[in-house]
Amino acid sequence: MNPPMSIEPVIIPRANHPISRSLVSPNALRVLYRLRDNGFIAYLVGGCVRDLLLGREPKDFDVATDATPNQIKRIFRNCRLVGRRFRLAHIHFTDEIIEVATFRALSPPEQGEGEPVADETGQRGGDEAERLRPPRHLVSDEGMVLRDNVFGTPGEDALRRDFTVNALAYCIADFSIIDYAGGMEDLQRGMIRTIGDPRVRFTEDPVRMLRAVRFAAVLGFAVEEETWQAMLDLAPAITRATAPRLYEEMLKLFLSGEGERAYQLLRQTGLFAHLFPGFEAWLGEETDGFPHARTGSALEWVDSQVGSGEPVSPPLLLALLFGGYLEEQSERFMGQGASPLDAVSAAVAAFLGEQAPLVAVPHRIGLAMREILALQQRLHRIPGKRPQAVLARASFAEAMAYLRCRCAMNGEDSPVLAWWERYARDSVMPPVEPCSAGGETKKPRRRRRRRGVRKAAPQ
């Protein structure tokens, strides 16, 4: 049996770092204190420690502990255990969920499967039955981690994380920062670096390459040289990640507020070409670089929206990203005799079909994206028939946002946009039904049809 790993962390005492409890969510503090008071180790971990140290507001607060999921469940009444790949505890509060994970091991234990994993002291018995139940670590033939549920020590838990800056922990026992991987230094230098050999880490989980791009873009960090080289070499492996996960990551990248920067990094590493090969080939056909610039400008517009707190929905994002490509495909279908509406539908269906094995866009998102694009044709007919009906369409606001972005990019559609904006503003709401004196609303009269008198069906 392997002895527990002995990893010496650097401890940064409270006096030497800026994280104050007043910056931490009160619910996260409650969870940390309760775990500590029950005799467990309790750390804030991951992105929130990184963001607090950078003076940024964390998206969420994650906790890591040596308590097992069942032990956590016993301590918190408001706890639900979730996840198959990673078994996690969710502690529910009125307006927040705090995620609590048990420290996980670096690699499968060499001893028999399910044998207890000792902690740093080798002492804590914990929930023996749970430790013996099959926490499994499963690796595919290509070295990809499929399941990772083996409990480990705090040090192992830190070193199995993706990047040094994501492996810092804030300890509630003495308010210190615990740094197992040199994360503090990389944070100060503005560097994204994998923990351990980047080739191994990206092979274990190719999505980490997209995460590297996201953190570099969002934090304005550089990617460390060896890590960057591994990304260039292993970019084709990104297609081994599951298509739904890649869709989720793509949304995070492009809706991060730094989507344009992320796009440049994706293209430089070659990741973009592997994720969107058809679209990339189309971009490559153009010699003047316009579609490429157009995608960048669309993402700049998305970034400005996100930056000013205006959410951009996934269908709108997709329509903006791939709109030029899809419009051109639609024209091709129209050239073959399809109606404008059928042509848009066919172009969108072909695109989603080609993307499905790589980046799986959910069906309803694809439909909503098609609606936004299809409505563009109608918006360009002013006033057209029944403009009020256009206004009532569920996708009107998104279609207008699409048009607004197009205007910001080339100004061509400005009169169309101005017309619809004015029309929407001036449109009167349907009058409210007048109330009778007694306060009862008048029931609409039902048309009565006499029995037996039916309109004859056409022969």
If one asks whether residue 47 binds ligand ATP (CB under 6 A), the answer comes out as yes
From the list ligand ATP, Mg ion, none, partner contacted by residue 161 (C-beta under 5 to 8 A by kind): ligand ATP
If one asks whether residue 59 binds ligand ATP (CB under 6 A), the answer comes out as yes
Catalytic residue among 127, 162, 303, 413: 162
CB-based contacts of 277: which residues, under 8 Å, 6+ apart? 354, 358
**Secondary structure class of 92 (helix, strand, coil):** strand
From the list ligand ATP, Mg ion, none, partner contacted by residue 208 (C-beta under 5 to 8 A by kind): ligand ATP
Rounded to the nearest whole angstrom, what is the least distance from the CB of residue 199 to ligand ATP in the complex?
15
Of 43-51, 94-102, 258-266, 411-419, the segment contacting Mg ion by CB under 5 A is 43-51
Active site residue 119: no
Asked if 70 and 87 touch (Cβ cutoff 8 Å), the reply is no
If one asks whether residue 186 binds ligand ATP (CB under 6 A), the answer comes out as no
Asked if 183 and 245 touch (Cβ cutoff 8 Å), the reply is no
Of 171-179, 201-209, 310-318, 431-439, the segment contacting ligand ATP by CB under 6 A is 201-209
Q: Which is nearer to Mg ion, 214 or 406 (CB)?
A: 214
If one asks whether residue 114 binds Mg ion (CB under 5 A), the answer comes out as no
The site for ligand ATP, by CB under 6 A, has a size of: 11
Q: Closest by alpha carbon to 11, among 170, 194, 191?
A: 170
From the list ligand ATP, Mg ion, none, partner contacted by residue 205 (C-beta under 5 to 8 A by kind): ligand ATP
Active site residue 60: yes
Residue 289, Ramachandran bin (φ over 0: left; ψ between -120 and 50: alpha; else beta): left
If one asks whether residue 196 binds Mg ion (CB under 5 A), the answer comes out as no
CB-based contacts of 298: which residues, under 8 Å, 6+ apart? 320, 321, 323, 405, 409
Output the CA–CA distances (angstroms, integers) from residue 75 to 34, 92, 131, 215, in the order listed: 8, 13, 18, 34
If one asks whether residue 205 binds ligand ATP (CB under 6 A), the answer comes out as yes
> Helices in 20-87 by DSSP H: which ranges?
26-37, 47-53, 69-75
Q: Closest by alpha carbon to 372, among 348, 354, 338, 389?
A: 348
If one asks whether residue 69 binds ligand ATP (CB under 6 A), the answer comes out as no
Q: Which is nearer to Mg ion, 158 or 319 (CB)?
A: 158
From the list ligand ATP, Mg ion, none, partner contacted by residue 207 (C-beta under 5 to 8 A by kind): ligand ATP
Active site residue 233: no
If one asks whether residue 161 binds ligand ATP (CB under 6 A), the answer comes out as yes
Backbone φ and ψ for 267, nearest 5 degrees, come out as -70, -40
Angle at 53 between CA 183 and CA 165, to 5 degrees: 25
- Interface residue with Mg ion among 9, 47, 277, 340 (CB under 5 A) is 47
Burial-class residue 142 by CB neighbours within 10 Å (0-12, 13-18, 19+). exposed
Interacting residues toward ligand ATP by CB under 6 A: 46-47, 59, 62, 161-162, 166-167, 205, 207-208
Q: Which residues are catalytic?
A: 60, 62, 162
